[in-house]
Structure 1
Amino acid sequence: MLDPSVRRQRSITVGAVLSLPSMMQQRYAPTLAAGVVAASGTLGILIPPSIMLVIMADQMALSVGDLFMGAVFPGVIIGALYLIYIFVLALVKREAAPVPDGATAPYWRAVKGVLIAVLPTLGLILAVLGSIFMGITTPTEASGVGALGATLLALGYRKLTFAKLKAVLVSTFNTTACIFAIFLGATVFSYVLRELGGDELIESVVAGTGFGPNGTVIFILFIVFLLGFVLGWIEITLIVLPLMRPIVNSLGIDIPGYGVIDEPSLVWFVILVAVTLQTSFLTPPVGFALFYLKGVCPPEIGLMHIYRGIVPFVLLQLAGLALVFFWPALATWLPSVAY
């Protein structure tokens, strides 16, 4: 499981290099093309397997399986909102997504070929997530299952070479070293903050807003949203999130746990924070995903095209966040049924 920042950057880069030129060749609207690639690239930090949820679970003393299962419905809902928006826009404003020249209706043989081609990848995903959800492995062990499965797939497709293996190992070492360096710095900062009484100051400020339980949660999410402009998810998770645990527990919010989830209010809150961070990565002027995309997109797509293109998707993400906020069962029902 890669660092979500790396996963997000790679997914946006691949989308920009492979998808954007094709969409521009088919005369798609630059704003729609840029918005689709940028927004879809941020879904990886929410949909399992996500190391962000693993670290959030560790910092909040929650079950990783609960967070993984709790993130499924919010991720699927946001993805479905994307698809509905694109479909409706293509119907209403046909010049934004014109039918490609020479396009034919899909036929069964082509659909069958696509399904057969994606089966190994789906099997690998199910092996990683299924082993976690069924309680067979921990997330660390499941990542080993994923690495072994990917290696076997590469061998099966005869794509595994010594040069590729070396590149994978070097990339893994670099990513691990970067994450541990950030962990070390964030841990030192949090210890200094606690020794100086900063955690008590922050808790008293947030708890003393007088907004009530729901208003306090909204205030915390707004702070996380703003911090997402300038800080990475690791810093927010290691420094800010643990300070919010006693505050959320003291609010007395009654979230259905169906007698299975130990702390359903915290599971619900962490999922809200994860969706909020996903939204902040897309929001101008400092949205990281926007600059990843601008660095690799075709020259005919300008920064203003990207800014205008992501506005509908940010609104859709906020709509998804509102749905999870007002219907907490979207984050707690699936974990309760699974376990």
Structure 2
Amino acid sequence: MTEYLPFILFASVFGLLLLGYPVAFTLGGVSLIFGYFTFGLNFFQLLPLRVWGTMTNYVLIAVPLFVYMGLMLEKSGLAEELLETMALLFGRLRGGLAISVIMVGAVLAASTGIVGATVVTMGLLSLPTMLKRGYSPELATGTICAAGTLGQIIPPSIVLVLLGSIMNISIGDMFVGAVIPGVLLVVLYMVWIGIIAVLSPQSAPAMPAEELAAFTGLAMVKRILRAVLLPAFLILAVLGSIFAGVASPTEAAAVGAAGATLLTIWQKKLNMQTLKDVMRGTNILTCMVFVLLVGATAFGLVFRGMGGDRTITQMILDSQMGPHMFLFLVMLVVFVAGFFIDFIEITFIIVPVVTPIFEHLGIDLLWVGILLAMNLQTSFLTPPFGFSLFYLKGVAPPEVTTGHIYKGIVPYIVIQLIALLVVVFWPESVTWLPQAMAKKP
């Protein structure tokens, strides 16, 4: 009977989550009950030590700092300026507005990593413009949702920090390894928009020439430099310091937080109310992540104490399931789970269980970590609980229906799965850049 306890624990947690109970308290509460009846009062002596070890993890300080950086940059107004400039720059092309949304999404991902902030900002600014210019609601909404999710894979990304911490992988390696897959996704998104612009020109028209007439000459150059240089400064400060080996991810996050504050001052948008809003938002999001982390720590302690990791590993070995088959199974479970629960919940529940098995099977954990991050990215788009869909619906004009949004994201989910397959069959897309940078003098 005892060999089945880990599965009963896992099923209990998952079942309560599907019934709508809060994730952090479900993980922690169920784990406390199982821990007491399995190990007795000794469990309550060990658990605080494990929680203390987790909460004093230096790497996790990057989480509140990156959250602060993203929220502060949202208040700076740089996103609006960048989006308007890129729309004018690519407006002459069919599908140019949609391409500009993807590019701005990539820039914001590389400077904030906050999906909700990116989707809401671009939904408020670009969606009415795209609809006014004759874009199909499906293409407009799908593009905005997909561009927002780039913050999940393009560093600095909170999910990369969490995965690196849970899987015991260098956060710097996670950031470097995610660069090529992130660029691949951006390119595939833009190729899809180009295909739509050719096959269905009426769905993605160019902007009228008279609106672009003033955007020429020196005025155009000045506006582009102003819109691009400031975000580029922040990206260089954060990612450049990590990739150059000058700063750790945690130190770079602090640099990013300070840089975002300076940019907001430069834009003359910093005041006491802005600071209060950013601090409050940072507190709420950070507390949510860390309470989940405490619950996940309790869950992991009980699951491993019951021998759950050894039981599952032995089952995999007894079934003679190969490494690639196990990888496919995990990816399928994560993808399906993304329809129903949040990426943080998946990260804290599933990843700690499967990581020792990947390690035992001799699979490169860095490669698996990036694959998991790309897979978790789809959870923002897959209905009924895709958060990007909720964010966009909340700020969309009344004429944009939920059906428009659901239809619009389908091609982008397919594109994300194609990119995932490319990385599966081409592991060097993840491992080459970290290895190359490790060899540099």
The two structures share one fold, judged by TM-score above 0.5: yes
Q: How much does 1:290 deviate? A: 1.6
Q: How much does 1:226 deviate? A: 1.7
Is 1:35–1:306's contact at 8 Å kept on the other side of the alignment?
yes
Which of the residues 139, 142, 145 maps onto 1:38?
145
Which residue of the partner structure matches residue 239 of structure 1? 349
Is 1:206–1:220's contact at 8 Å kept on the other side of the alignment?
no
Which of the residues 118, 121, 125 maps onto 2:235?
125
Which of the residues 403, 409, 418 maps onto 1:319?
418
Which residue of the partner structure matches residue 74 of structure 1? 181
Is 1:34–1:306's contact at 8 Å kept on the other side of the alignment?
yes
Which residue of the partner structure matches residue 3 of structure 2? none
Q: 1:204 and 1:290, CA in 2 relative to 1: closer, same or farther beyond 3 A?
A: farther
1:229 counterpart SS class? coil
User: What is the CA–CA distance in structure 1 between the aligned matches of 2:338 and 2:313, rounded to whole Å?
Assistant: 19
Between 170-179 and 204-213, report the one with greater CA deviation: 204-213
The one-letter amino acid paired with 1:107 is T
Residue 142 (1) aligns with residue 252 (2): yes
Is 1:183–1:234's contact at 8 Å kept on the other side of the alignment?
no
Superposed, 1:252-271 pairs within 5 Å as 252-253=362-363, 265-271=364-370
Is 1:207–1:247's contact at 8 Å kept on the other side of the alignment?
no
Which residue of the partner structure matches residue 250 of structure 1? 360
Is 1:207–1:216's contact at 8 Å kept on the other side of the alignment?
no
Q: CA RMSD in A?
A: 2.2
User: What is the CA–CA distance in structure 1 between the aligned matches of 2:404 and 2:318, rounded to whole Å?
Assistant: 42
The one-letter amino acid paired with 2:423 is V
Residue 107 (1) aligns with residue 206 (2): no
Is 2:381–2:388's contact at 8 Å kept on the other side of the alignment?
yes
Which residue of the partner structure matches residue 159 of structure 2? 52
Which residue of the partner structure matches residue 191 of structure 1? 301
Is 2:123–2:392's contact at 8 Å kept on the other side of the alignment?
yes
Between 40-49 and 291-300, report the one with greater CA deviation: 291-300
Which residue of the partner structure matches residue 96 of structure 2? none
Percent identity between the two aligned chains: 45
Q: How much does 1:103 deviate? A: 4.4
The higher relative CO (CA closer than 8 Å, separation ≥ 6) is in 1
Which residue of the partner structure matches residue 229 of structure 1? 339
Q: How much does 1:114 deviate? A: 1.2
User: What is the CA–CA distance in structure 1 between the aligned matches of 2:281 and 2:119, rounded to whole Å?
Assistant: 18
Q: Which blocks of at least 5 consecutive residues in structure 1 are unaligned?
A: 254-264
Which residue of the partner structure matches residue 261 of structure 2? 151
User: What is the CA–CA distance in structure 1 between the aligned matches of 2:336 and 2:292, rounded to whole Å?
Assistant: 20
User: What is the CA–CA distance in structure 1 between the aligned matches of 2:309 and 2:366, rounded to whole Å?
Assistant: 22
Which of the residues 309, 323, 328 maps onto 2:427?
328
User: What is the CA–CA distance in structure 1 between the aligned matches of 2:113 and 2:431, rounded to whole Å?
Assistant: 28
Which residue of the partner structure matches residue 79 of structure 2? none
Which of the residues 385, 402, 409 maps onto 1:310?
409
Which of the residues 26, 36, 48 maps onto 2:133?
26
The one-letter amino acid paired with 1:296 is V
Q: How much does 1:147 deviate? A: 1.4
Q: How much does 1:232 deviate? A: 2.4
Q: How much does 1:56 deviate? A: 1.1
Q: Which blocks of at least 5 consecutive residues in structure 2 are unaligned?
A: 1-65, 71-108
Q: How much does 1:287 deviate? A: 2.1
What do the CA deviations read for 1:98-129 (whole angstroms, capped 9, x no partner)? 22333447634314421233202211111111
Q: How much does 1:217 deviate? A: 0.8
| Structure index of larger Rg | 2
What do the CA deviations read for 1:39-85 (whole angstroms, capped 9, x no partner)? 11111011000121112111111111111011000011011100111
Superposed, 1:192-211 pairs within 5 Å as 192-211=302-321
User: What is the CA–CA distance in structure 2 between the aligned matches of 1:209 and 1:320, rounded to whole Å?
Assistant: 30
Q: How much does 1:86 deviate? A: 0.4
Q: 1:309 and 1:209, CA in 2 relative to 1: closer, same or farther beyond 3 A?
A: farther
Q: 1:208 and 1:75, CA in 2 relative to 1: closer, same or farther beyond 3 A?
A: farther
1:284 counterpart SS class? coil
How does the TM-score come out when normalised to structure 2? Answer: 0.70
User: What is the CA–CA distance in structure 2 between the aligned matches of 1:169 and 1:232, rounded to whole Å?
Assistant: 24
Which residue of the partner structure matches residue 387 of structure 2? 288
Between 235-244 and 305-314, report the one with greater CA deviation: 235-244
What do the CA deviations read for 1:291-331 (whole angstroms, capped 9, x no partner)? 22222211111111111111111111111001100000000
Is 2:331–2:372's contact at 8 Å kept on the other side of the alignment?
yes
Superposed, 1:269-284 pairs within 5 Å as 269-284=368-383
User: What is the CA–CA distance in structure 1 between the aligned matches of 2:380 and 2:343, rounded to whole Å?
Assistant: 10
Is 1:186–1:239's contact at 8 Å kept on the other side of the alignment?
yes
Q: How much does 1:208 deviate? A: 4.8
Between 194-203 and 110-119, report the one with greater CA deviation: 194-203
Q: How much does 1:137 deviate? A: 2.0
2:339 counterpart SS class? helix
